[in-house]
């Protein structure tokens, strides 16, 4: 097992970028030579004021407030921040709103009315992790003193550090898995016994809210505050099935194979991407770090064809449009079995050396 710190990168809201530049100028963010995996060209800064969390979108550096996507963390890390925060403010009725959001067949107008009513009430101090998956299989402890801030290409990001460990016991028989990341469903997970698991179907209410907002349906456009909360709920809805799948891998996997993804052009946009953002964060950070903690091999494989042109299966071509992989389930299963095959071949070659 491995016991060094885990780091998760979350996004800082763009309106706060000038404030961060001012903090650098004023000496409250001190540049350090530390490197952060995955960000080789970034300028890295350490905050000198004490770091505390005040809500799902609020981080404090002393008396200075930053808005950042703290909800965009794996469940164990999210829970750790709530446990460590003396003042954590959440919308009153968030638990009920999330239940309504995830209720199959709920009417979009009914949800929008409940959303407006929730935001009309004052925030309350609440340390309950309403947005966490119920059974994710990991435990984390937050290290606020190891917080870092990155700047790369004009964007600013927050790096939060945790002690992470798996709580899932290993099964007596473990397997090699291949995983393909897609859009609907989010994941296809296969093993050498040809068991196929499709994870994360589309969220019909989220799609309806996105469509009505983009189409400027009268009475259906959302305010910036409503957009933020819907995006938070969409992220939580995307995270939940992914962490259930991860818990299964922690207990049953000997090795896992995934493709490397080229995500340089990805952008987080409103509810259209909140669910997909969770899938990408799972693929690029949560999965590899949790497997590392549990001592399970991860093999990142080169894509068999360019990012925008994936396997051809029958007469249909899956693509990556912007930042979201698209392909029918039959094609996704085909890709996942190809990833599994190449993972098994790679492990066989390494064993012979």
For 139-165, give the DSSP string.
EEEE-GGG-EEEEETTEEEEEEEEEEE
Q: pLDDT at position 334, please?
A: 84
Q: pLDDT at position 321, please?
A: 38
Neighbours of 267 (CB within 10 A): 8
Q: pLDDT at position 43, please?
A: 96
Q: pLDDT of the chain along its 353 residues, tens only?
A: 445 889 999 999 999 999 999 999 999 999 999 888 888 899 999 999 999 999 999 999 999 999 999 999 999 999 999 999 999 999 999 999 999 999 999 999 999 999 999 999 999 999 999 999 988 899 999 999 999 999 999 999 999 999 998 999 999 999 999 999 887 788 899 998 889 999 988 899 999 998 999 899 999 999 999 999 999 999 999 999 999 999 999 999 999 999 887 554 344 444 457 888 898 899 989 999 999 989 999 999 988 753 333 433 333 333 333 344 555 566 678 889 999 999 999 998 877 66
- Which candidate, 322, 10, 17, places its Cα nearest to that of 155? 17
For β-strands 155-166 and 51-55, DSSP reports them as unpaired
- Sheet strands (E) in 92-186: 123-125, 138-142, 148-152, 155-166, 175-181
Neighbours of 39 (CB within 10 A): 17
Q: pLDDT at position 315, please?
A: 30
Neighbours of 220 (CB within 10 A): 16
> Is residue 195 classed as helix, strand or coil in its secondary structure?
coil
Residues in contact with 271: Cβ distance below 8 Å, sequence separation at least 6, in sequence order:
206, 209, 210, 213, 227, 230, 231, 234
pTM of the model: 0.86
Residues 310 and 327: their CA atoms lie apart, in Å, by 9
Residues 136 and 258: their CA atoms lie apart, in Å, by 20
Q: pLDDT at position 17, please?
A: 97
Q: pLDDT at position 184, please?
A: 76
What crossing angle do the helices spanning 204-214 and 270-281 adopt, rounded to 10°? 140
- Which candidate, 84, 116, 87, places its Cα nearest to that of 100? 116
Q: pLDDT at position 329, please?
A: 61
Q: What is the CB-side half-sphere exposure of residue 26 using CA atoms within 13 A? A: 11
- Which candidate, 140, 170, 159, 147, places its Cα nearest to that of 3? 140
Burial class of residue 243 in the structure, from the number of CB atoms within 10 Å of its CB (0-12 exposed, 13-18 middle, 19+ buried): buried
């Amino acid at each position: 097992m491995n016991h060094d710190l885990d780091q998760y990168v979350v996004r800082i809201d763009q309106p706060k970028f000038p404030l961060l530049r001012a903090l650098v100028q004023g000496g409250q963010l001190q540049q350090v030579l530390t490197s952060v995996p995955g960000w080789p060209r970034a300028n890295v800064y350490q905050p000198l004021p004490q770091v505390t969390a005040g809500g799902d979108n609020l981080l404090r550096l002393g008396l200075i407030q930053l808005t950042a996507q703290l909800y965009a963390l794996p469940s164990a890390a999210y829970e750790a921040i709530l446990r460590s925060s003396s003042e954590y403010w959440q919308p009153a009725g968030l638990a009920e709103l999330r239940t309504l959001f995830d209720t199959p067949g709920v009417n979009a107008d009914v949800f929008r009315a409940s959303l407006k009513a929730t935001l009309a009430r004052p925030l309350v101090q609440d340390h309950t992790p309403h947005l966490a998956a119920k059974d994710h299989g990991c435990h984390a402890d937050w290290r606020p003193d190891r917080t870092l801030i990155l700047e790369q290409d004009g964007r600013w990001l927050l790096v939060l550090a945790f002690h992470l460990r798996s709580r899932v016991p290993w099964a007596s028989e473990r397997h090699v898995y291949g995983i393909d990341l897609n859009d609907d469903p989010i994941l296809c997970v296969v093993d050498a016994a040809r068991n196929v698991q499709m994870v994360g179907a589309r969220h019909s209410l989220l799609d309806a809210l996105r469509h009505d907002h983009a189409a400027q349906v009268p009475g259906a456009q959302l305010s910036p505050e409503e957009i933020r909360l819907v995006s938070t709920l969409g992220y939580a809805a995307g995270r939940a099935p992914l962490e259930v799948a991860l818990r299964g891998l922690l207990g049953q996997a000997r090795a896992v194979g995934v493709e490397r993804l080229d995500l340089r052009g990805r952008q987080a946009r409103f509810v259209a991407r909140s669910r997909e953002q969770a899938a990408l964060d799972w693929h690029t950070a949560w999965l590899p770090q949790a497997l590392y903690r549990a001592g399970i091999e991860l093999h990142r494989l080169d894509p068999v064809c360019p990012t925008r042109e994936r396997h051809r299966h029958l007469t249909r071509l899956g693509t990556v449009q912007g930042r979201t992989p698209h392909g029918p389930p039959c094609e996704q299963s085909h890709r996942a079995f190809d990833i599994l095959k190449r993972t098994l071949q790679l492990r066989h070659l390494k064993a012979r050396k």
